[in-house]
Structure 1
Amino acid sequence: MFENRLTKVFRHISKLARRQNITCYRVYDDDIPEFPFSIEMYEDHVYIAEYNRKHGMEEDAHEEWLDTCLELISKVLGVPPGKIWVKQRQRKENRQSQYEKLSLESHIMTAHEAGLQFKVNLSDYLDTGLFLDHRITRSMVREEVKDKKVLNLFCYTGSFSVYAAAGGAAEVTSVDLSKTYLAWAEENMQLNGFNSPAYTFVHADVLQYLDTLKLNTYDVVIIDPPTFSNSKRMKDFLDIQRDHADMLNKVLLATKKDGVVYFSNNYRRFVLESDKINAASIKDITKQTLPFDFQQKLIRKCYRLTK
């Protein structure tokens, strides 16, 4: 059942990817509940995350089942085991298969997207450093930032910042609370030759940072916050459903007239409280920004606000 499904979707999706010259894409995402994986291609590597589910198997039986699945994935995708990287939401201590040994090695590679380069880490974090579902959104930003001032909040590894620089933005400011991700964002910019002093990186709690912004400063703002955050380094904890209107209003104050804010989040039950948001227009661009490899499963919402 799993082999048939994977063979079918891989044939279809890889064909679409080749046509669009896309080398990093999602192949499979929990299509069959009994096989709870997310499987992504990163050029000639495969990244697999196993979702944490009650499977009712003893540990040894689960290990054996997983090894069988990985062999099958290797065969269907035509990728050798040495280039397959597996993440489990709960790491098992005594895993003895070849895949576990591999996943304990660090693997960092350079991935390519739309003529740009990104550092991707397939081994050390639950996320690789490049959110593939925002491929189209990044391109939209690139198209409209020429000679404009751009602010990227919760910038993560800076992929939107790289696209903004590639689109000819006059200034790009990237803000994140994580020093690790901020350094990664700077590395991604340098990887693409973007070393200008016009590209700045700010280590800050975004919720507090919003209160320091000057009025009418930015032409384009990207804000892609987590659903919840209660980092010890944050002054307040973030609840995106509760806080989004207030947060977006602060962002809009810092945005020039006719400026644009791209806002997205991954909260499954998110409802935009548009009546509380001081924007001239709000457009739901979720479907418009949905890539071919996320058509069935994507839960994130995406909006374009104009001041």
Structure 2
Amino acid sequence: MDPAFASLVKQPREGFNDVQVLREATFAARQEASSCLSDFDLEIEDRDIPSYGDEKTLIPMRIYRRRDVEGSSPVLLYLHGGGFFCGDLFSEQLQCAQYALNARCTVICVAYRLAPENPFPAALNDCYRTLEFVWDYSEALKIDRDLIAVGGSSAGANLAAAVALLARDRVGPNICFQLLLIPALDDRLETDSAVQFTDTPGFARSEAEVMWRWYLGESPQDVSPYAAPARAKDLSGLPASYILCAGLDPLRDEGLAYANRLTESGVAVELHLVPSIPHGFASIPAAAISKRLLSEQVAVLRSAFARESGL
């Protein structure tokens, strides 16, 4: 393991038990490592949109946009991580700000409903509803509807992949690219990495088991591929993809398998496996590898948007 992540190793290991305690700990860690957004020359707007069929249930979203943008811009619908049970609009604001500033796109982050209080499909419904809102109001949002990408980290990457599947199957808004970072894709946890990695820093098999139980419920039956995209039988017709896998992550092999299946289905895929990092590497943004990977993601997004726009 890269020594930069030694602080993630804790003895004795703390398990996932009380969801409120976990949320408070995550919030405290974010406060300590929060980035000053005033350093970024961005317009940042918070707004709410109504959920499906319920005007009283609102979906918060945060919009990041460069101040010097003229006309419509590409957009990244970004879905935060947090095991489906924690995270908010501010969880990954450094990444969102960097994407908006340096990939020269609008970034819309979604605060979807969290498990276990709101299990599947609540989070996915919120994310897909936001995609439809972006599509329907693209002119008012100054967004190019031909240049919509979805992305996220961990549970957020699951939701991004599921949104792409839904958009394909419903013949919904056109998505040109998906950015899947350390994705949680398979609730079965039968891969070699899911079986072997029982004590990796921060997030190991036991945490993955709790994550899926809270998201799917105690005794899920006939798990939907929109809940666990690895279960989808057909991956053809999905958008071009970038997939990042961490070498010391129980979710590593399901990300690798998904990339391989996408390729076999004729989808263009760029895959990056980093052997020396754990699942939670992005929680230490000052690490050299974290900085390098964020720069790579920015470059990948810029390239994807340029390719789709014919530039």
Q: TM-score range by the shorter chain?
A: 0.3 to 0.5
Q: Which has the higher relative contact order, 1 or 2, with Cα contacts under 8 A spaced 6 or more apart?
A: 2
Q: Which is helix-richer, 1 or 2?
A: 2
**How does the TM-score come out when normalised to structure 2?**
0.35
**How does the TM-score come out when normalised to structure 1?**
0.35
